[in-house]
Amino acid sequence: MQHPAVPELAHTTTRPIHWLATAAALAAVVGLSGLLQPGSATAAQAGPASPAAHGAAVAPPDPAKAHFPLDCGPAEVLVQKKATGDLDGDGRPETVAVVRCDAGSGTPPNGVYVLTRGGDGRPRVVATLVDPKDAFTVTDLAVRAGAVTATLDGYSSPDVPRYRPDVHEKAKWQWRGGRFVRSTPAAAQSA
């Protein structure tokens, strides 16, 4: 049995123009893949053994387990407020803690500290936003959109009674250039 004669089809014969079109298409794909690379890596990436590298949620550091640079003598360190959020954009939550000595009477000044998880998983202080030596009491604390905001009450002079602070400031801190930069929130500037 003979096959009927099949006419020669144009798409079954290769010519130099076909090879040029294929080479041009391949060059375009390779060139585009070079432009569409993922962002560069940073040193703050999660390691392969960490839960963040596997897509699991990472618990924020617990301030109750942290050691704060606060000398309370025989009194205990008291964590009064805390807020959590990703402050440096590395995908892991940090904790901001408002801490003071539990003196039993009076109102000792607060310290505001940023905690992250150390390599051993324990919380460690990585920044001091408010030093207790500045004699402020923190009445409000929040972490939103990678920024820390706080309301600080203090005293204009030693003559001001300690039960009636006369300095009231709003403060905002954001991670920029490898450090926390303090500013005044927009709402406080217009007031």
pLDDT in tens, the chain (191 residues): 555 554 454 555 666 675 666 666 655 555 555 555 444 333 344 444 444 444 567 899 999 999 999 999 999 999 999 999 999 999 999 999 999 999 877 778 999 999 999 889 899 999 999 999 999 999 999 999 999 999 999 999 999 988 899 999 999 999 999 999 999 887 654 44
| pTM confidence score | 0.68
Per domain, the residue ranges of the chain are 57-190
* Six-digit token string for 81: 């407020």
Q: Can you tell me the distance from the alpha carbon of 16 to that of 132, in angstroms, rounded to the nearest whole number?
A: 79
Q: What is the pLDDT of residue 169?
A: 95
Looking at residue 107, what is its pLDDT? 78
The candidate with the shortest Cα–Cα distance to 78, out of 117, 110, 122, is 110
| pLDDT at residue 22 in the model | 62
Q: 16, exposed or middle or buried, with CB in 10 Å at 0-12, 13-18, 19+?
A: exposed
Give the pair of three-digit tokens for residue 9.
Answer: 């089809």
Could you write out the DSSP letters of every residue in 71-131?
--TTSPEEEEEEEEE-SSSSSS-EEEEEEEE--SSS-PPPEEEEEEE-TTS-EEEEEEEE-
